[in-house]
Structure 1
């Protein structure tokens, strides 16, 4: 069983407003991220915020640890509920090729080398990530908070995207 997790706890500081709710083709970005994962997962959750009908998970061990806090929440949730894998995506990734998602699942543990927040992780890595985040609960940025470094420590495979990924960081990234 695969748990899908939308990582959405960021401050949207470069965007200037709530990026997850910014509209693209009449839908919020977070809805596009959910739609990208839905065909591949048993259940979807949102990490770091409330959104719509989906269950919400608070970042672990607390907010302010960047995307790894959301991934830690998803892994913990998955491990305690019998999921074997967690497929993660950023709320600002509205158009991910399905072939890339399928490749990440097939190679799991694996992450997109172009956007490490997009990955498929083993649920039993929850304890390893919790240990890594212990002592970093102050919100201080450090190498321990790097998704890429954590992924490499788990032995995850870096998978390149088949084409440049569309990622929204500023309002200018959205088509008019």
Structure 2
């Protein structure tokens, strides 16, 4: 299997986390960005960080920093467009995107999402205990050949990731939730407390008995 390029989307502001940059918020002594980077490394080829504003705040990371290629930040779709264009410029035909505030995403994310036709978008999804389908559209594989189509649609008002992806024929790849939702994202101080508890429970589970 050819490994895709990957881009960590970090355009959101942690308003409910005291206005801190989510990528630099810490969980168990490490930044969200560091957690995501370590989980991505075995799954991908090149990895970049999509972030806007003064990129000097990421001086400690060795990742390429790519800012939105559209003039105004237009939400996650503009980050996805930037990811497509960056990956294509580096010779990749597919790019994986993830959100920086979701540090427990599956270690087989890329492998599972790549189980689809090469020219098709694949979105991560889960089902709750009631069988309801939940899409996680920032966790997806995107053919880089779609970048011109996405740029044109952004110029004509496209903003919703799921709606745009489905219009291109995207498929859903279902992931098991097991004890914890692997796509649990951290938005509030309460979420951060829960995330710390998840880390502790995982650490205990990994210890030899």
Alignment TM-score, normalising by the size of structure 2: 0.75
Determine whether 1:110 maps to 2:131.
Answer: no
Partner residue in 1 for 2:7:
5
Taking only aligned residues, the RMSD between alpha carbons, in angstroms, comes to 1.7
Give the secondary structure class of the aligned counterpart of 2:91.
coil
Gap regions ≥5 residues in structure 1 = 137-143
Gap regions ≥5 residues in structure 2 = 126-134, 197-209
Alignment TM-score, normalising by the size of structure 1: 0.88
Displacement, 1:24? 0.8
Displacement, 1:104? 0.9
Give the secondary structure class of the aligned counterpart of 1:14.
helix
Displacement, 1:161? 2.7
Structure with larger Rg? 2
Aligned residues: 169
State the Cα deviation string for residues 47-73 of structure 1 (Å, max 9, x = none).
124332111111131342111111110
| Rounded Cα–Cα distance in structure 1 between residues aligned with 2:170 and 2:96 | 13
| Rounded Cα–Cα distance in structure 1 between residues aligned with 2:166 and 2:107 | 23
| Rounded Cα–Cα distance in structure 2 between residues aligned with 1:80 and 1:99 | 25
Q: For 1:38, which of 33, 37, 41 is the aligned residue?
A: 41
Q: Name segments (4+ residues, structure 1) moved above 4 Å.
A: none
Give the secondary structure class of the aligned counterpart of 1:118.
strand
* Correspondences of 1:57-68 after superposition (within 5 Å): 57-68=66-77
Determine whether 1:174 maps to 2:189.
Answer: no
Partner residue in 1 for 2:159:
145
Determine whether 1:162 maps to 2:187.
Answer: no
